[in-house]
Amino acid sequence: MTPPPELAPLEVSESPVDKFREYLEIRGEKLTEQRRKLVDHIFNSHKHFDADELVSDLRHSGSRVSRSTVYRTLRLMVDAGLLRELRLTNRTAYEHNYGYPSHDHMHCTGCGTIVEFRNDSIRRIREEIGDQFGFRADNHRFIITGMCPECLRARSRRRKLDQI
């Protein structure tokens, strides 16, 4: 199976930091140095992560950000439209929402791998269903759960050993 091509970032008019600053100002809050570090760190690479992984990454990079600040800031970043929350089988993961095209996911319940993909048929179905009910659909979340090829191969080898 060939993995789907990586999704390319979209052109955006504001940086993630500027967009977050604007969102916070509307709420009467400030973009603190810790919050700015979080946004910079998260948008420095495109990957799926959970809060604990983010805390660990920050510690390894030498950034001093408290766990409670990480959790509160992630919630604010989701509310601001910068991040998207993915509720998976055994954890909640986050990914970039701002500056990335709409897409869907496959989640391996064996190893936890998350694969992004785009499929125009899914978008057409979303629009058709919306039209059918007079609903203007502007987004959706679609996560296929199952086993990736590597986990299926490993599982198959274990089963053969069980037969000995």
Place of tokens 């198959």: 156
Dist CA 120 CA 142 (whole Å): 13
Ordered DSSP codes for 102-161: --EEEEETTT--EEEE--HHHHHHHHHHHHHTT--------EEEE--HHHHHHHHHHHHH
Judge whether 140 is annotated as a binding position: yes
Dist CA 136 CA 138 (whole Å): 6
Q: Which two tokens stand for residue 26?
A: 């509307």
Dist CA 137 CA 123 (whole Å): 10
Judge whether 104 is annotated as a binding position: yes
Judge whether 111 is annotated as a binding position: yes
CB 80 within 8 A of CB 97: no
Judge whether 108 is annotated as a binding position: yes
Q: What one-letter code names the amino acid at 100? A: Y
- Which residues are annotated as part of the binding site for Fe cation? 104, 140
- Which residues are annotated as part of the binding site for Zn(2+)? 108, 111, 148, 151
- Which residues are annotated as part of the binding site? 104, 108, 111, 140, 148, 151
